[in-house]
Amino acid sequence: MRRYPLLRGSGWALLATCCMSCGVSGGEDDTTASDRVDEAWRRYRLGQFESAASLFLELTLEDVELAESSGGLGWSRLRMLNPTGARLAFQSSLVADVGWLDSRAGEVFALRDGGSSADALLSRARDVLRADPDWRFVHEPTVDWRDLRMTAAQVYYYTQRFDSCLAHCRAVDSSLGLDRADSLSWQGAPSFEAALLREVERLTAEVTE
């Protein structure tokens, strides 16, 4: 899972300048709740995670679009390396709307980063992938179903469920020729498990680059 937004630097700075210059001066403040949610996500995409989290928290306290604002708070906290706080926010989002997939997916990464139950993590990942096999986080499009698959693959590997691990790896790379019964496919590794670990590391690096 990537640690920074897909778009950043001068491109976002220019966009931010344009957004600020396009406002209507004078008159009453006609900012809507939706505008404020959009502004919080804009800060998130700029990498301003503390500022985004502050605005999302404000929105949740006002019960504004609670599923989305709590989810946004979760993703912001996740980027601030606060998986416990992120998970609490994701859970609040899911109470407001149990079908909010971005929060369900975010909870997978919060569970991973917080070192929580492997089975809980795998259950959340299955929920997302069953509901939308091609899930992609719209506010950070480089984070998608492949991140979920490889997170699950890592958990399966380290809990010694190698066949399930291999299945998730093949879902990401359909050309993967590794076969437990065929030592030639291990490509010089001393065991199937060692060859599988090599593939997990390779695919994780490709997905997160």
Question: In DSSP terms, which residues pair with 136 in a beta bridge?
Answer: 144
What is the topology classification, in CATH, of domain 33-115? 1.25.40
Which pTM does this prediction carry?
A: 0.82
CB under 8 Å to 130, separation ≥6 — which residues?
none
72-127 pLDDT tens trace: 999 999 999 999 999 999 999 999 999 999 999 999 999 999 987 899 999 999 99
185-205 pLDDT tens trace: 998 899 999 999 999 999 999
CB 141 within 8 A of CB 6: yes
- Give CATH 1.25.40.10 domain extents, the chain: 33-115
Distance CA 190, CA 174 (A): 23
